[in-house]
Amino acid sequence: MFANHQYQYQYQQAGGGAVSTGGMVWNGNAWVQAPAAAQQQQPNGRNSTFSTASYVQPQKESRWSRAPQQQARPAAAAKPQQGGPPDGLKSVIPSHRNKASPYSSRQKSSSKYQNHYGPANENEDFIKVPNFGVKKGSNKYVNPNSAKKKKPMDDAGFQRSSSTMAQRANRFSGPGGNADVRQATAKGIDARYMGKGVIGGSSKKLDETDYEQMKVKGSCRKLEKQYLRLTAPPKAELVRPLEILQQHLFNLKTEWKSKKTRRDYLWFCAEMKAVRQDLTVQHIQNSFTVQAYEFHARIALQEGDINEFNQAQTQLKILYEKLDDAKSLENENEFVAYRMIYFVVMSLNKGYKGGSSDLLKLMLSLTSSQRNDPAIKHSLQLRAAVAEMDYHKFFQLMKSCPNLGGMLISRSVPIMRHLALQRICRAYRPSVAFVFALKELGFSVETAKEIDDGKKYLLSCGCVFNDEDGSEIQTKNTVVRESDLEEKRSLN
């Protein structure tokens, strides 16, 4: 092995075809194993360097092997260049680095065009580059790197581009095409029944109230029907005519009377709302309509559904004003009394400010014959008792209320008892018998259990009883508060 790279460089420039160390030969591209005949054994056991006189490794001519023949340069000029082998010299790797030349990896690249340091293969002396320019047989410039854009297609393989869709739409243009279909559909929805312009103008967005104003004649023959809000104009095949509604209402009344076999209230409420909807879209306003709303209001009162009752009695007020036949006005006084009690109860609610004015309007509208009606007379007395805070008369009227008025009065019992107990503790000093107080508050004291329940109520209100037998309330030491035993119910 040469002592340094300078002598090694000079030896190769002098005519050495290859330099060998350790039995390896540099063939111009990489280190390879030298033949056995070309290796000379030294006394120290190491292979010596041989020249081209003894062995010359065949080399293939390439750009890398065609180095210009030049004289040996000084050692200072033999510095390797940055990024590649020095000019005219194949990089010599010391023998202790038993691995291939770093420059040989470029020829092993799997890239299509290798890289800019060498040819694509051993038989080529140039680097292939992509073709740019004019396409053969055409005068138009073609860029091979720009991929041709494909037309958008959906999952079924149909083209969805705007131009393609426009061409398809044109096939359905003209008389009987898409425009005529859309116009006919719009007319069928709005003008077919009552007309969109009649309801609220052509630019108005219709809602459930507008759909209910459309008139249609029903043809459905089913008795039971599920209630759904109207989100589109009503269809005749889904609306029941008057005779079917009459039969269905009769069945509902019969089933409601049989408490053992009847279904729950929610089902009845949904059925009655569906009946009312069918009557509304057909613009049926007669004695049967009044019967339907009256039945719905009664069952809502019995079940404590004040919201549904209020909706029904509001429509009944409108129907009573429009209709004048005796059959339609048969139960008018009953529901006028319910409406008056409703306003009385609402006047006890501090959050409701319209109770007094509504009640005054109703009282002014009463006729002399209506004032003599037992139900209306009772409701007028109840109004006076609440206005004067006469709790004694209030609880008496609650027990003697005709029809279903007691269901409404019971909604105001908790607040009336609280106000009454405050007045009792102020009026009776220093003590009052708790049985007397229970009677004044509307409790029944006929059995021991009823008396015990009344006493629990007084204790929950903060009443203090005497230490002897607990039969009296120490009103002087009592601070009345709202009871937590009774359910707080509101009409809102």
In this predicted structure, the answer to whether residue 113 has a pLDDT above a threshold of 60 is no
Span 432-459, mean pLDDT? 92
Q: 67-97, pLDDT tens digit by residue? A: 444 444 554 444 444 544 554 444 444 444 4
CB 354 within 8 A of CB 342: no
Both structure tokens of 66:
């065609």
What is this structure's pTM? 0.58
Q: What is the pLDDT confidence band of residue 351, given thresholds at 50, 70 and 90? A: confident
Q: What is the pLDDT of residue 181?
A: 53
Q: What is the pLDDT of residue 61?
A: 52
CA distance 118 to 11: 27
CA distance 445 to 452: 9
Span 433-457, mean pLDDT? 92
Q: 264-277, pLDDT tens digit by residue? A: 999 999 999 999 99
Per-domain residue ranges for the chain? 1-110
Which region among 30-39, 92-101, 216-225, 351-360 has the lowest average model confidence (pLDDT)? 92-101
Span 233-246, mean pLDDT? 92
CA distance 344 to 355: 7
Position 289: which residue type? T
Q: What is the pLDDT of residue 22?
A: 54
CB 56 within 8 A of CB 18: yes
CA distances from 424 to 384, 413, 436, 449, 477 (A): 20, 16, 10, 23, 13
Q: What is the pLDDT confidence band of residue 28, given thresholds at 50, 70 and 90? A: low
Average pLDDT, the chain: 75
Which region among 132-141, 185-194, 414-423 has the lowest average model confidence (pLDDT)? 185-194
Q: What is the pLDDT of residue 183?
A: 57
Position 79: which residue type? K
Q: 266-319, pLDDT tens digit by residue? A: 999 999 999 999 999 999 999 999 999 999 999 999 999 999 999 999 999 999
Which region among 49-58, 379-388, 405-414 has the lowest average model confidence (pLDDT)? 49-58
In this predicted structure, the answer to whether residue 48 has a pLDDT above a threshold of 70 is no
Q: 316-329, pLDDT tens digit by residue? A: 999 999 998 999 99
Span 251-270, mean pLDDT? 92
Q: 142-192, pLDDT tens digit by residue? A: 555 555 555 556 555 666 778 887 777 777 666 656 565 555 544 444 444
Span 378-382, mean pLDDT? 95
Span 428-445, mean pLDDT? 92
In this predicted structure, the answer to whether residue 257 has a pLDDT above a threshold of 80 is yes
In this predicted structure, the answer to whether residue 134 has a pLDDT above a threshold of 80 is no
Q: What is the pLDDT of residue 141?
A: 56
Q: What is the pLDDT of residue 151?
A: 57
Both structure tokens of 442:
């509307």
Please choose, from the candidates 341, 356, 266, the residue with its C-alpha nearest in 3D space to the C-alpha of residue 308: 266
Q: What is the pLDDT of residue 13?
A: 47
Q: What percent of the chain has pLDDT over 90?
A: 43
Span 233-251, mean pLDDT? 93
Q: What is the pLDDT confidence band of residue 467, given thresholds at 50, 70 and 90? A: confident
How far is residue 484 CA from its own chain's centroid? 39
Q: What is the pLDDT of residue 112?
A: 47
Please choose, from the candidates 422, 459, 426, 427, the residue with its C-alpha nearest in 3D space to the C-alpha of residue 441: 422
Segment holding 21, helix H or strand E? strand 20-21
Span 437-453, mean pLDDT? 92
